[in-house]
Structures are given as structure tokens and as C-alpha cells.
Amino acid sequence: MFMKKKMDASTEKANQAAFSKRALLLIVSYLFSHSSFRRRPESRTSETRHRFSLGRRLCAKHDNNFTKPLMTSFQRGSILIGIIIAMVVTAVLGTGMLYLTTTSTYNELIYGSHSDAYYVAEAGGRYAMSVIRDAYATSTINLKANLEKIYYMSNNTSFKIEEVTFDGGNPEKITFYSIGTIGSGLMQAKRKIIYEIIPANQSKGGGVKEITIAEMDSTNSRGSFITTPVGQIKVTGTVDDGNQQRLAVAYGKSSVNFLNERTAQGGFLSYDAQVKVKSDADYYVAGLGFRLHNVSDLPRGFHISFMRFNNFNIYDGVPSGDFPTDDAPRTGYEELKLIGMEPKAYYIILWMDDLDSNKTPAGGSRAGWETLLAYKKLETVLFEDEMETGTNGWTVSSSHDNDWLLTDYTLTPTNYHSSVHSWYANFTGNNKTASLLSKEINGEGVSSAKLSFWYKFSTSNSNSDGQVFICKGANSTSCTELSFGPIKDDSWHQTTITVTNLPSTTRIKFVARTLSSWGAKQVDWYIDDVKLYTSSLTPWSTLLVNLEEKNLTPANDNTRRNVIKVYYSTPTDNPLGAINWPPATGMNLVQWDWVKSSDTNVVAEESNTVVQTRYYRTGTPPTPNPTGWYNVTENSKEIGLYACGTKNAIENHVFFDDFALRIGGGGGSDGSGRVIQY
């Protein structure tokens, strides 16, 4: 599959050094033989000695102190020259050995660095494959631009992804390079790996299917839907589902064979679905059902819906448990209204029909319970302060030196609602006031809003009062008092006040005052966590679900989960007739305010944007059978629309449009393909 060629420079250098060593040894041998082993006079022939003697006699008269030392020094000089040459040769050989040793060390270090560089390149390849896998599960827009860059890591290492190419086939093959780098300068090492992969979540046939579902299938539906002349789907009939609740539920009509799609995805069924919703009703639940299947001829599964309810009782037609009160649903029955949710606010909710088809409320006819899994309040915050960033634009005005104080209550934690600060008014006396005024707030274009705050009005208060105002203009000379009557006890309370005719420039004012009367007069008032916001829903807003089914542990069906993400957009970003999929502009990922964490089958992840659940998975359940499996068949409908409320609110007042599905085949979690390295 690949060829790898490696040049070993150290071997060639070693051969050159060996040759130089042999040449130097030959030279040394010659010099030593010529200097140290020259024939001495005693060893010469007799003839030579005779001639030498004759010459010496002839020159005897010159045999003085000059001639004899000269001959001796010549012999000693020859020996000295040999010693010097030997020292030079030794130095040269030593240098050669040092060179060879250093080269060997460098070769060993560079070889290890190249090995490390390969692992860095491999890490880069794995990262790129994960990005590609996620992109094919959502959108491949800007995939190439997002990948092709250098990624720096610690310890002077990095990897670079480059030359990302798509072959345009079906399924599509992607090729890219991952280059790992270790070190810098002369000690830098690089390795390059070529990847050729076929990402998962690709259709084996006609590509990703984007299907607009303009009609509803009446099979096993409850209530009735029609398609209006403009192509919108309208709820025209409902059925009584008990406890003052009217329902309309129907499957989407399409040509998709979900069993085949599940097979193409390797035994998992994942897809995206969306719909736009409009309601003329004040209080209702309306949205999209998915992972729908039949229990006693009733569609069971998950739902994402827009919701607005009037109160915690049952008379607005929104599911509220068994025998609720006006103040709270009955404890233990978690349907679509929970303590902490605000009546008349708009919500996005994720919920499901309960698995127990035999559970019926006393005196009711419903075959199951609606169980809330998560909710998100739709609101635009105009002003918010938790009193933890200093005065933050609040100003104080008072009479007779009585003030509001921003105090740190670390030693008395009951005197704040959150963190460690709150505003505090405490004074006594006859007819005294102290005002706490917020900074300017931009309310332009907002006709009404909600003012929410937490307060504690102590039982020690006597002959005193607390007032709340909305003031107009920068100088706040024109103020309107809001309806507020503080509860006098030693507990924290939250109050929410509706503000109508909100000025375009406004301020919030809290006034603590003692009354003009006989007896003791005292104010002891704490204010914390103030928020001015709007809760509204624009008609024809979009709800979209991204449903991914997978095993958290590969090949282990006991870890199979539905992984759910929900998106929301307004018609400004996603107008009627436009069917966009994430990550299109304005398609906002919902971050849930609350998730049903008390249920071990439901887990929230990634800052409450992802909900994992064991309920309603597809396929044959493993042994032992865990909660919530069902089989997909050729006739499975899988997605649909849902609405509930009172009869007058739902019938002819709830509309749907741009009901669409995106689904594609493919298998595996990481894709498949080959890796080439060199």
C-alpha cells in the first residue's frame, strides 16, 4: 500500500572514516620504519666500516667538539620527528572517533524524533477525522477551511492539516495530509501521513434526503389536520384526552422507509427534522414529534414543542398532573408544568409520552402521562443584576441620611439570595424614605415586559412599606408604581410583575419608607437578583431536532442512547419557505434551563445542550432487557406533529409549515478508508 525509503548517512560516513584510518596507519608505518629503524654504523658491512675508518683517519684532525654532537643530534632528531608524527596521527584518529561518536549520537536522537513526529502526525489525523465525522453528521459547510491550518501543542510540537480534497463520489472520499513536527532548527524532525477516508453518515444511494412533508397520514392519528390552500397544515379537530385536555396528533406522510434507512446506517436510526409553528391561541402546546411508535394505537415517543400556560391548574388544556392547584402541580406528577416555571411565559420543552400505557389518572381516560425532560424559557433580557459587580449604575437618594447599602454578607448568608451581596435598607424614624434607582435601560420597541426580583422583608418591619416603580426618561421624574405587596417574614421570595407601556428609556426604582404614625417605625428590606425581560414567541418560528442514535461504548448495545439536540430560529433568520439545517445562521442551539436529572435514564451534557436518554431506542433489546426499546418496521412513521390545549384554543388556531426531514444512510462511527504513510 505504500513504499518507504530511508537514507542512512551514518553508514557512509563510517566507511569514509575507516578508509582514512587505514591510509594514516600506512603513512605512520612508513615514517616509523624510515626514522626509528635506520641502520646504525655498527651494523654496516666491513667495507663500509673500512671506508668510514679511512675517512675518519683522514679527517681526524677535524674530529673536534663540533662534529660529534652534530651526528648525535641528527639521530635524536629522527626519533623526535617520529614521535611528533605519532602524536599528530593520534590526534587525527581521536578527532575521527569523536566525529563518529557524535554522528552516531545525532543519528539516534534524530531517529527518536522522527518516531515522535509520526505519532504527532497520527494524532493530527485522528483529530481531522473526528472533525470530518462531526461535519458529516451536521454540515460540511466550510469544512476544508476549518481544517487546513497549523495546530500548536506543548513541548515545541505541532501538526498541520493540508490539501483536503473531496472526490465528489457517492459515497464521497476525502484525502488530506497530516504533518507532524518535533523540535526546531537542526534538531527538527517531520513526518507526513496521507489519509484517504470515506466518512460515515453518507447515503449508499441517492445522497442525503431532504423531504418536505406537506400532508399528514391519518393512520393511527388522533384528531384531524388539513392542508390549507397556501400549503400550511392546520389543526381542524381534536379528541378528548382527559383532565380538560384536547389533543391532535398525526404522523407525517412521506415515502421514507425508515427500516431501510436504519439498515443503511448500520443498525442505528439518526436524522434531522424541523417544522415552523404559528398559534393564535393564548395557551397551548404545539410542535414536532419524533421517534414515534405505537402503544395501544397511540403514538408514543419524544416531542419538542412551544408551550405557554396560564396557571398550574388544568383549565388551560396544558397537561398539569393529577388534581393540581392554581399555585403548583401535584407533587410527584411531573408533566409539562413544574414549580419554578413562570405562567404566561413562552417555553421550548422536550418531553415524552410515558412508557406505561396502563397508567391512567383517577377519573380520566388518558392512556399515558406526558413527562417533561427539559425546558428553556424564551426571553430577551433588557436588564439584569445579581448585585455582584459593585454598584453597577445603581444610585441612592434618601431623606434624613437613610441609605440603601450594598453589603457583603459572608458572615450572615441568609441576607442574600445568590453569591454574597444584596442591596439593604435599614432605618427607623417617622416618615423617612430611601430610593434605589437603576441605571438607564433601553426598552425601545418593547411594549410590555416582566420585572423579576428576589426580596426579603423582615418580620421586624413595623409601620413601613416597600414600593416598586418604573420611571420614564433619563431624569426619572415620571414614575409609575407597580403592583407589589411584600410578604413580611424572614424568608426570601421571588416576585414577577408585568410591566405594560414600557418607556423606550426607563429605570427601575425601589423605595423603602416608614409611615407617619404613632409607635415604632422600622424598615428592614433586602433586594437581590433583579431582571427586566420580555418573554415572547414570534409566529412561524422554527423548531428543529438533531437525533443521533449510537452506542456510547462501541459494539455494546447496552450503552445505546438517543442523543438529542434541539435548535430554534425566528422567521427573521429562517423565513417561511426556507428549510435550513444547522449550522445555518440564526439556527440557535438550545441550552436548557432545566433537565430531568432525577431520572437516571436521562443525562444532560455539554452545558445542557445535549440530552442523552435510554428511552425509545431502536432495534432488538439485549438481554437483560433495559428500558425503552422498540422495533422499526417498514411501516414506521417515526415523525409527526402534535398540539394540545382547550378545544377552542387548538381547533383552527394552530398552524404548521415547512415540515421537513433530512436523513442519510452510512455506517460506522469514524468512517472507513486507508492510511498511507511515508
Summarize pLDDT for 426-455 with one digit per residue, the tens.
888 888 899 999 999 998 888 789 999 999
Is the separation of the CB atoms in 214 and 255 below 8 Å? no
H helix intervals, 254-400 = 258-264
In this structure, are 363 and 414 located in the same domain? Answer: no
How many CB atoms sit inside 10 A of residue 428's CB? Answer: 15
Record the cell numbers describing residue 254, joined without a space.
412521506
User: How far apart are alpha carbons 677 and 264 in whole angstroms?
Assistant: 31
- Mean pLDDT in residue range 256-261: 86
More confident residue, 201 or 512: 512
User: Is 411 within the bounds of a domain?
Assistant: yes
pLDDT at 30: 54
pLDDT one-digit tens code per residue, 376-412? 999 989 999 999 989 999 999 886 666 888 887 766 6
pLDDT at 398: 80
Question: In 3D, which of 318, 311, 296, 315 has the Cα closest to residue 342?
Answer: 311
pLDDT at 546: 95
Record the cell numbers describing residue 189, joined without a space.
524532525
Question: In 3D, which of 560, 547, 548 has the Cα closest to residue 619?
Answer: 560
User: How far apart are alpha carbons 387 and 113 in whole angstroms?
Assistant: 55
Give the C-alpha distances (Å, rounded to integers) separating 203 from 45, 171, 183, 670. Answer: 106, 7, 43, 15
More confident residue, 217 or 311: 311
Is the separation of the CB atoms in 626 and 558 below 8 Å? yes
Is the separation of the CB atoms in 305 and 543 below 8 Å? yes
User: How far apart are alpha carbons 268 and 560 in whole angstroms?
Assistant: 9
Question: Domain range for residue 283?
Answer: 209-379+538-663
In this structure, are 40 and 147 located in the same domain? Answer: yes
How many CB atoms sit inside 10 A of residue 195's CB? Answer: 25
User: Is 677 within the bounds of a domain?
Assistant: no
In this structure, are 525 and 548 located in the same domain? Answer: no
pLDDT at 541: 97
> pTM to 2 decimals?
0.62
Q: What letter does residue 413 receive in the DSSP assignment? A: G
Single residue among 198, 218, 244 that ends a domain in this structure: 198
pLDDT at 531: 94
In this structure, are 418 and 454 located in the same domain? Answer: yes
Which CATH number is 522's domain given?
2.60.120.200
Record the cell numbers describing residue 615, joined without a space.
428511552
pLDDT one-digit tens code per residue, 69-96? 444 544 555 566 666 665 655 555 444 4
User: Is 339 within the bounds of a domain?
Assistant: yes
Widest Cα–Cα separation across the chain? 158
Q: How many domains does the chain have?
A: 3
pLDDT at 132: 82
User: Is 675 within the bounds of a domain?
Assistant: no
Residue 370 burial (CB < 10 Å; 0-12/13-18/19+)? buried
In this structure, are 181 and 162 located in the same domain? Answer: yes
Residue with cell 534524530: 110
Residue with cell 477551511: 145
What is the residue-averaged pLDDT of the chain? 77
Question: In 3D, which of 195, 120, 129 has the Cα closest to residue 152?
Answer: 120
Q: Which residues contact 555 (CB under 8 A, 6 or more apart)?
A: none
User: Is 2 within the bounds of a domain?
Assistant: no
3-state secondary structure of 630: strand
In this structure, are 327 and 413 located in the same domain? Answer: no
User: Is 672 within the bounds of a domain?
Assistant: no
Single residue among 488, 510, 534 that ends a domain in this structure: 534
Which CATH number is 560's domain given?
2.60.120
Is the separation of the CB atoms in 319 and 338 below 8 Å? no
pLDDT at 293: 82
User: How far apart are alpha carbons 129 and 169 in whole angstroms?
Assistant: 18
In this structure, are 356 and 395 located in the same domain? Answer: no
Q: Report whether pLDDT(20) > 80.
A: no
Residue with cell 561518536: 101
Residue with cell 394540545: 644
- Mean pLDDT in residue range 455-476: 84
Q: Report whether pLDDT(630) > 80.
A: yes
Is the separation of the CB atoms in 302 and 602 below 8 Å? no
Residue with cell 383517577: 362
pLDDT at 467: 94
Distance of CA 267 to the CA centre of its chain: 26
User: Is 1 within the bounds of a domain?
Assistant: no
Q: Report whether pLDDT(300) > 70.
A: yes
**Which of 201-215, 217-231, 379-393 has the weakest average pLDDT?**
201-215
Residue 513 burial (CB < 10 Å; 0-12/13-18/19+)? buried
**Banded pLDDT at 335 (limits 50, 70, 90):** confident
User: How far apart are alpha carbons 407 and 89 in whole angstroms?
Assistant: 88
User: How far apart are alpha carbons 265 and 667 in whole angstroms?
Assistant: 5
**Which of 15-19, 262-266, 315-319 has the weakest average pLDDT?**
15-19
Q: What letter does residue 414 receive in the DSSP assignment? A: G
User: What is the rounded (10 degree) CA torsion for 332, 336, 337, 343?
Assistant: 180
In this structure, are 177 and 39 located in the same domain? Answer: yes
User: How far apart are alpha carbons 498 and 482 in whole angstroms?
Assistant: 8
In this structure, are 366 and 387 located in the same domain? Answer: no
- Mean pLDDT in residue range 214-239: 85
User: How far apart are alpha carbons 151 and 158 in whole angstroms?
Assistant: 6
In this structure, are 470 and 510 located in the same domain? Answer: yes
User: How far apart are alpha carbons 259 and 288 in whole angstroms?
Assistant: 21
HEC letters along 289-324: EEEEEEECCEEEEEEEEEEECCCCCCCCCCCCCCCC
In this structure, are 442 and 550 located in the same domain? Answer: no
Give the C-alpha distances (Å, rounded to integers) separating 22 from 27, 85, 100, 545, 582. Answer: 9, 15, 15, 80, 75
351 membership: H or E segment, kind and range: strand 346-353
Amino acid letter for position 97 = M
User: Is 4 within the bounds of a domain?
Assistant: no
**Which of 27-41, 518-532, 577-591 has the weakest average pLDDT?**
27-41
**Banded pLDDT at 627 (limits 50, 70, 90):** confident
Single residue among 513, 534, 555 that ends a domain in this structure: 534
**Banded pLDDT at 323 (limits 50, 70, 90):** low
How many CB atoms sit inside 10 A of residue 148's CB? Answer: 15
In this structure, are 513 and 555 located in the same domain? Answer: no
